[in-house]
Chain A
Amino acid sequence: MTGYIELEDKTRFNGVSFGAGTSVSGEVVFNTGMVGYPESLTDPSYKGQILVLTYPLIGNYGVPADERDSFGLSRHFESDKIQASGLIIADYSPDYSHWKAAKSLSEWLKEHNIPAIHGVDTRALTKKLREKGVMLGKLTVSNKDAPIDDPNKRNLVAEVSVKKKIVYNEKGSRKILLVDCGVKNSIIRNLAERNCTVIRVPWDYDFTRETFDGMVISNGPGDPKMCRETIRNVASAMKLEMPIFGICLGNQILALAAGGDTYKLKYGHRGQNQPCSNIQTKRCYITSQNHGFAVNMKKMPSGWEESFINANDGTNEGLRHRNKPFFSVQFHPEATPGPVDAGFLFDEFLGMMK
C-alpha cells in the first residue's frame, strides 16, 4: 500500500504505508533525535502534528509493553496514547529486535489508528521545512485524503490536558501543583521520585483553593497564546511569590503571564542535541527539545532575565526572575527521549522551597 505526504506548497513525497489506513492532515515538523520514537510519538506536544524523523532507520527495537511504575505512570510512554497525527520515516524495520519489545511499531500505530509512511527522502523533506518553515500537510494513505486543518487554530492544550485533577505520590514531603498543558509522564515521575506529591490539574483549573509548595507549568502543544486561562491563572499565582517552574510551553506561558511576548519560530527545535548555554556560568548543556514557539526576550518586563540561550541560534532557552522564585526553561530537563544533563533543574526547583 502506497501513501504520500503533500505539503501546503504542493510538494509531494511518495512512500509506503505501514500504519493505520486513515488519512490525516496536520502541521508537518521534523525531529532529529536518533532514538526514542515511542517516547516522541506519545509526547502530547506533538498533538496535531505529523512527525518526520530525520534518522532513517526506525522501528528497529519495536515497541515495549505498556507497563506502569510505582506511581501508576506508564514506564515507557509519555502519555496514554500516540499523540502525533502521523509519522514519516525513511526506512522501516518490520523485523524488530529488543528484549523489551512487545510489538512492532507498525502494529502499535495501527492500534492507535495513526497513519505512517516509509521510503521517503526525509532529508529532502526536512530541508524543505527548514527553508520554507513548518507547513501544513496531508498524509494520505487511503483513497480519501483528509481536509487541510490548521491545528494551531485549535486549542490543542485543551485537547491533551487532563480533564480532572489527579494526585500522584500522596505521601510526598512537598506538594507540587502541576498545571497540565499536555504534560509528559517523565515530568511527573521526576517530581514524584524526588519525594513530591504531584497534584496534576487541567490547564484551565482554578487552583486558588489548592494548597501547595510550588508550581510547575508543563510542556504542551501549539501556540501558548491559546492558553488564556492558564496565563491568567499563572499571573495570579505569581502574586503568591511561591516557587514556579515552567518547562517548554511553561516557559512561554510564564513569559506571557509576566507580561512578555512569544513568537513562532520558522521551524522550531526538535531533537536531542540542542546546546543551551547558561548565561551566568557559560556552561553549555545538551538538551532535549520540542517546541515551535519561543519567548521574545526584548519584550520581557523588567525584573526578568534570560537564564539560558540556544548556543546555535541565540534564541531564548530560559527565564529567571531576578528576585522572585520563578524560573523556566524552553528545553526538557525530564529528557525522555534525550539527554538527561539538565535533570538538576528539578533539584534547583525543589531547593527553592527549602
Chain B
Amino acid sequence: MEKTEIKKILILGSGALSIGQGGEFDYSGAQAEKSLREEGIEVVLVNANIATVQSDEKMADKVYFLPITPEFVEKIIKKERPEGILLGFGGQTALNCGVALHDSGVLGKYGVKVLGTPVEAIKATEDRELFVKKLSEIGLKTPKSHAVNKIADAITAANKLGYPVMIRAAYALGGLGSGLCRNDSDIIETAAQAFSNSPQILVEEYLEHWKEIEYEVVRDAYDNCITVCNMENLDPMGIHTGDSIVVAPSQTLDNKEYHNLREISIKLIRHLGIVGECNIQYALGKESDDYRIIEVNARLSRSSALASKATGYPLAFVAAKLALGYSLAEIKNSITQKTVACFEPALDYVVVKIPRWDLKKFRHVSRNIGSSMKSVGEVMAIGRTFEEAIQKAVRMLDIRAHGLVGNDFSYDVDKELESPTDERLFAVVQALMEGYSIELIHKKTGIGKWFLHKIANVIETEKQLISYGPAPEILERAKKQGFSDKQISVITGVPFSEIRQIRKENNIVPFVKQIDTLAAEYPAVTNYLYFTYNATEHDIDFISKKKKVIVIGSGVYRIGSSVEFDWCCVNSVRALRNIGYETIMINYNPETVSTDYDVCDKLYFDEISAETVMDIYGLEQPEGVIISMGGQIPNNIAMKLSSAGVKILGTSAESIDRAEDRQKFSKMLDKLNIDQPKWKELTNINDATEFAKNAGYPVLVRPSYVLSGAAMNIAFNDNDLELYLTKASKVSSEYPVVISKFIINAKEIELDAVADNGKITLFAVTEHIENAGTHSGDATMVFPAKKIYTETSRQIEDIARRIASELKITGPFNIQFLARDNEIKVIECNLRASRSFPFVSKISGKNFAEISTNVIAGKSHEDHGDASAGVSFAGVKSPQFSFARLKGADPIASVEMASTGEVACLGKNVYDAYLKAIIAAGSKLPKKNILVSIGGDKSRYKFLPFAKILDNAGFKLFSTEHTGLFLGENGISSTILYKVHENKSPNIIEFLNGTNGNKLELVINIPSAFTQEELDDEYVIRRKAADFSIPLITNLQLARMLAEAITSVKESELEIKPRDEY
C-alpha cells in the first residue's frame, strides 16, 4: 500500500474557544500531532489559542500563534512550504480557512496537498444545495429544504413547505443564525440575522420531536468503512445537538433502526469520498423507520471527541493516520495493542453527556434553548445503568445540583416543558414528582418515554430514602442508581460521614471498571477507568512498583475555567511522569487532552468530588493529591479532602482556605499591613449599607470560593446592594460574602508565580490594558508588562513575597493588584494555577505548571526569578466573546466574566501583537467606517486625541448625537446618525445591518458609567453590532489601544514568525 511520502505538514487549529467550538479541537489537534510525529513527519501548527496543549513546543515542530485566516495562513505557507495540510482537526474555522485557500489557488500555487478528505467532499457537505443533490443521487433522504439568497425567497419557500419551518445558515457552526419560524414575520427577523453570517440560508421542513441520532463514521482510502459509535439525543429534534443531553450508544433503537442508519452512513461516506472521519446527524421518525439526514460534518467535531472518549477509540489519531494513506486494518487498536483499528467498539457501559450553560452570566439573554447552540462546555459520565450515568453527569455540571433529585430548585413546570431552557431536565423531574404522567411529559417535550421511566426510577428511590432512611437495601439501590453520599445525606438528613460509614459496613462500595473498546472480549492493557456500583469485582489491581500521585483535573469547561487549566494539568502530569511517578488523572470532561488515556498512567474518568476522590485515594494509596492545577473545582474540595485525611501536596488546605475565604484573607492582609480596598464582611443589610455610605458607592460584592466572578457585582446604590447581596449569599452559602470599595480608574496588574515553602522562585508580572472593573478573564493582557513604574513593580514583588511567606505557599499562585499613582492594593489571591499560566509560560519559555509541579514534588528548588527577563518582544492576550450566539445578551464586559475563550499573539511590539490578537479573536480591522459613541464628557475628552489620530489617518467617523457634537466642537468632523427608535435617516440601524451598502466596520461604544442598566439605545447599538458581526469596543483604554495600533502598524506588515524565532 502506498503511503504518502510527505515530510512536512501544516495543521490548522481552531483558534479561541467559543460557543460551538470548544476544547474538543485541542484534543483532536493534539492527537493529530502525536499521530503524525510518530511517523517522523515535521508538524507546523497555526493556532493563536495559547492555552492549548497542542501549541506546546513539545507537541509540534513549529507553532505559529497567529490568526487562522487565509491571509495569515498564506504567509505561513509561503514561509514554511509544507507539502501537505490537514483541515479536519480545527473545527469549522480550519475547514473554512482551508476551503478558501484552496479556492483562491493558494494551495495549488505552493503545491500544498490537502490530506484526508478532499476539498470537493468538504464542499458537498457544506454547500446545502450541493449536499442535497449529492445525497439524492444515491436515494438518501434529507429534510425538504430550499436554499435561498434573499429574504423574499425565504418567505416564498416557507409558504411552499408550510409553517413551522427551520431557518439555517449555510457554512456556519453550532447552528449559528438558525431558528424556528412560525410565520412570515419570524422569517424576516431570523433570515436577516442568518444572512449576516452567511450568503445563503436554508428554509427547511421542521421535524419536531423526531428522534435525533448521530453516527461517527470512518473511511480509509481503500474504502474500508466503520461506524465507531452511535449516539442518541435525549432531547429530540428541535434542540441543537450541542445543547442536548446525549447518550451513547443509542438506547431506544432496535437492531433494524440501528443498522439501517449505520448502512446509510457507510453508503454516504463512500459516496462523498471522505477519507478520515465524519459525523452524520439523523432525524429518525417517531413511529416509523423513516429518516432524514440532517447534517454531515466532514471533519473531527464535538461529537467525534465525545465518541472517542465514550468508546476509547481515538478517532482523531486514526483519522490523521488515514490521511497519510494507512488503511484501517494496518492501524492497531491502541487500547488492546492486540487487535486492529478496523472494528466497531462494543461498549459494556452507558455514557451520558450533558451540556453546561452559563447563561446566568449575561444580562438580557434569552435562556431558552433551541436550534442555536448556547452551551459553553459539557460533561460525560459513565455508568452501568442509565440512572447511574445521568446522576453523575448532573453533579459534574458543578451547578450545585446533587443529582436529579435532592435539589432545592423550583420551576414553572408548564412553561419549562413548553419552551425549554437550560434547566429543562430539572423541570422534568419536578413534573414527574408533581404527578404529571410520562405520556404527557413525552407529548410536551418529545423526550422518549424510556428516558422518562428511568428518571422516574430515581424519583421512586428518593421516596424510599425519605420513607425508610438509608437502610442498607435502599442505600444499595440508591448507589446503583448513582446517588452520591452527599445527595443521600441531603435527602435523608443523615450526615455525610454516617452515610459513608453505613455503606462501608454493608460493603456497598464502588468497583473500578476498564473501558476497553471490546466489552472484555480480548484482554486489554487499558488504563481508562471508571467507577460503578453495578458490579461485583474490580477490573484491575492497585499494586504498583512506582510511587503514585493523583492530579485532579479541571472538570467542566464554563466561562472562566477552560482549556488553560487542562494545559496546567497535562503539564503537571508530564512533569510527574518525568520524575518517575505513576500518575493518576481524575477528570470527566470529554473535550480535554488530560482525559487522553496516554497522557497519564491511569485515567479515572469520573466525578471530581470529595466522595470519589476519597474512594480513588483509598484504593490507589498514592503519595498525595495535587489540587492546584485544575482551577477552582479541585480547590473547592481541598478542605474536605484534607480533613478526611487525604494528603494534599503543595500548599496546605488551611492556607488555601485563608486565601479563598474573603474574610480570612482580608484580615490577613490587614495583619500584614498590605493595602486593600476598604472591606467588610456581610453580617446584615444595614451594616452593608452603612459601610457603603461611609466608603462611598460604588462598592463591590464578592462571595467566597467562586470562579470568574460568579455573582460578583458592582453596586451603585442601596437597591443594587441589597439585590446583589442576596444573589451572592445564594452562590456561596457556606462561606462569607464580603463587600469592598470599588476603585475606579486604577490599573490592574497580575502576578503569576511559583513559591517553594513560602519563597517565590518564579514570577511573571502582567498588566491589563483595561482599567479595573473589567474581569481579569475578559481583560486584554500584556506580558511582559510595559507600562508599570519601577516602584510599582518593586512593591508588587514585595507584597507577593510577604503573602507567599505568610501562607507558606508551595506551588502555583496568582495575585491581582490595583495600582493608582504607585499605590498598590491587593484585590485577590488564588493559591492555584491561574488562567494566565499558559500565556506567561509560552511567552517566557518558562513552564509554570511544570516548575510548580517539580517544586510540589520536592524535586527542584531552583530560583528562576523574573520570567520576563530576556523577553524582548511583546505578548498580548485577548478575550474571545460569543455574544453573537447569545441572543439578546448585552455584549459588554464587566466584573463578571463573559468571554468564552482567549487568544494570544507575539509581536515585535505591543501594537503588532495586539492587532494580531484581535484578528485571531475574530475581528476584522476597520478600513474606513467607525462609529464612535461615548458616554460622558470626561470619557469623550480622554478619547479626543485618539479620535484625532483616527480622523487624521483617514477613517470615516460616524457618531451618536452627543459624541458627534463634542467631536465637532473639538474640530473633528463626523456624521451624526439617528438612534434606532428615532426612525429617521441616516439611522444607525442602516449602518449596522449594512442595508445602505455602507456598513460600519467598528463600533466604539463606551457607556458613561457602570450603571446597572444602560440606556436602551446604547444596548441596541451594542446588541446589533454583535448580531451583525461588527467588532465592538466598549472600553476606553481598549479604544485608545486600537486607535494607536491601527494607525501605527499596517495590517500587511504584521510580523509572521513562529514561537521559536522570537
Contact = CB atoms under 8 A, between A and B. Distances in A.
Interface string B502-526: 0000000001010000111111000
A93 B453 contact: yes
B259 interface: yes
B327 A60 contact: no
Interface string B453-474: 1101000000000000000000
B406 interface: no
Contact of A130 (B520, B535, B537): B520
Interface string A261-275: 000000000011111
B343 interface: yes
A34 B346 contact: yes
A282 B329 CA distance: 8
A286 B224 CA distance: 9
A213 interface: no
Contact of A121 (B259, B343, B536): B536
B475 to A, nearest CB: 16
B22 interface: no
Nearest to A55: B348
Given A95-B450, A123-B539, A126-B519, A286 B259 contact: no
Contact of A340 (B263, B327, B343): B263
Interface in B311-370: 327-329, 338-340, 342-350
Interface stretch (A80-88, A225-233, A299-307, A330-338): A330-338
A99 B287 CA distance: 6
A14 to B, nearest CB: 8
A319 to B, nearest CB: 20
Contact of B251 (A57, A313, A341): A57
B453 A97 contact: yes
A336 B534 contact: no
A36 interface: yes
Given A60-B251, A283-B223, A97 B342 contact: no
Given A34-B249, A311-B329, A55 B449 contact: no
B987 interface: no
Interface residues of B, number: 58
A39 B255 contact: yes
A273 B222 contact: no
Nearest to B348: A54
Interface in A22-55: 30, 32-36, 38-39, 54-55
A57 B345 CA distance: 16
A98 B346 CA distance: 23
Residue from A36, A56, A93, A272 with most neighbouring chain B CB atoms (10 Å): A56
A144 to B, nearest CB: 25
Interface string B257-271: 011001100100000
The interface residues of chain B, by DSSP majority, are classed as loop
A100 B288 CA distance: 9
Contacts of B344: 272-273, 286, 339
Contact of B450 (A13, A97, A338): A97
B222 A99 contact: no
Given A54-B520, A93-B450, A275-B329, A99 B346 contact: no
A260 B448 CA distance: 52
Nearest to A101: B254
Given A90-B384, A97-B450, A123 B254 contact: no
A277 interface: yes
A39 B256 CA distance: 10
B745 interface: no
A286 B343 CA distance: 6
A339 B343 CA distance: 11
A312 B262 contact: no
B346 A271 contact: yes
B262 A56 contact: no
Interface string A306-348: 0000011100000000000000000000011111110000000
B859 to A, nearest CB: 39
Contacts of A54: 346, 348, 519-521
A233 B250 CA distance: 45
A311 B266 CA distance: 20
B286 interface: yes
Interface string A99-130: 11000000000000000000101111011001
A91 interface: yes
Contacts of B588: none
B226 interface: yes
Contacts of B349: 56
Interface string B423-453: 0000000000000000000000000111001
Nearest to A337: B255
A124 B342 contact: no
B726 interface: no
Interface in A282-305: 282-286
A203 interface: no
18 contacts: A32-B519, A35-B254, A35-B255, A36-B258, A56-B385, A60-B252, A90-B384, A95-B449, A96-B450, A121-B511, A124-B535, A126-B521, A275-B342, A284-B340, A286-B343, A311-B343, A312-B343, A339-B263
